[in-house]
């Protein structure tokens, strides 16, 4: 099992990274229409421009297939090059509209316009200082998720319930990126301001009651709680909460 103290240090650093990005990717501020077919997003975890797109997906409460393309990776980078014509990330493929897009600002605008029926909210628009904050957040995490590590490829995609600003979920996404493990990202962003904060210190206090009819209510009914990260691996019929346990499982099962 991983060292509990060191894991909590990583959680604290991840929380700092979320704070640096000013809380984007925590709240589903503009829930959109989930398309019939999932987006395919080619990215890697510490890329600040890729993060902008994942933050928008959380804001819109949209799910996507993630194909990690860390530096030195051999699993999906050539596929991304074949699809888009250049080795540039993030790369969004939307099979619903036969759309292939580069440039994070363009992708974010496309997602809000197409699936949120609105302009990009002010806090999600590209600004001159945003890259600096994004680079600082990646630096705080020691650029975890940037470089590929040898791994065994799963037969089927894993499923991860997460939201971009979750400090615990980030640790799992970094490991998935490094190991080049594809997964379906199920965004489970907070649905109201009162939910902000860790479970025992939420702004609204009291027993947790999810928004009726929302994604969190469906998750709550299925699992008896709302907690991320939550991983399901159909290859081994594994289902688990807790970032430390998930990371240990990924290392044991897929790291070569």
113-126 pLDDT tens trace: 999 999 999 989 88
Q: 185-211, pLDDT tens digit by residue?
A: 999 999 987 777 666 666 676 788 888
Domain ranges (residues) in the chain: 4-188+228-254
Class of domain 4-188+228-254: alpha beta
Tokens of 213: 């009819």
For the ranges 19-28, 39-48, 62-71, 242-251, the lowest mean pLDDT is seen at 19-28
The pTM of the full predicted model, rounded to 2 decimals, is 0.93
Partnered with residue 185 across adjacent β-strands are 64, 160
Q: At 217, which helix (H) or strand (E)? A: helix 215-223
Partnered with residue 5 across adjacent β-strands are none
Q: 213-251, pLDDT tens digit by residue?
A: 999 999 999 999 999 999 999 999 999 999 999 999 999
């Amino acid at each position: 099992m991983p060292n509990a103290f060191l894991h909590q240090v990583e959680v604290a650093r991840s929380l700092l990274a979320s704070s640096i990005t000013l809380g984007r990717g925590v709240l589903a501020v503009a829930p959109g229409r989930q398309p019939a077919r999932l987006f395919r997003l080619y990215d890697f975890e510490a890329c600040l421009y890729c993060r902008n797109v994942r933050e928008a997906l959380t804001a819109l409460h949209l799910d996507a297939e993630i194909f990690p393309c860390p530096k030195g990776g051999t699993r999906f980078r050539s596929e991304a090059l074949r699809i888009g014509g250049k080795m540039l990330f993030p790369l969004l493929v939307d099979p619903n509209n036969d759309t292939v897009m580069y440039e994070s600002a363009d992708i974010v605008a496309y997602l809000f316009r197409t699936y949120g029926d609105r302009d990009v909210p002010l806090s999600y628009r590209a600004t001159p200082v945003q890259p600096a904050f994004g680079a600082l957040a990646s630096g705080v995490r020691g650029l975890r998720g940037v470089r590929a590590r040898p791994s065994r490829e799963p037969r089927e995609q894993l499923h991860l319930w997460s939201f971009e600003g979750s400090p615990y979920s980030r640790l799992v996404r970094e490991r998935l990126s490094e190991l080049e493990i594809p997964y379906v990202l199920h965004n489970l962003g907070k649905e109201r301001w009162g939910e902000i904060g860790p479970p025992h210190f939420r702004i609204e206090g009291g027993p947790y009651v999810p928004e009726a009819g929302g994604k969190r209510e469906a998750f709550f009914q299925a699992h008896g709680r709302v907690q991320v990260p939550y991983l399901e691996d159909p290859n081994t019929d594994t289902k688990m909460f807790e970032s430390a346990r998930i990371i240990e499982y990924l290392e044991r099962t897929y790291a070569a």
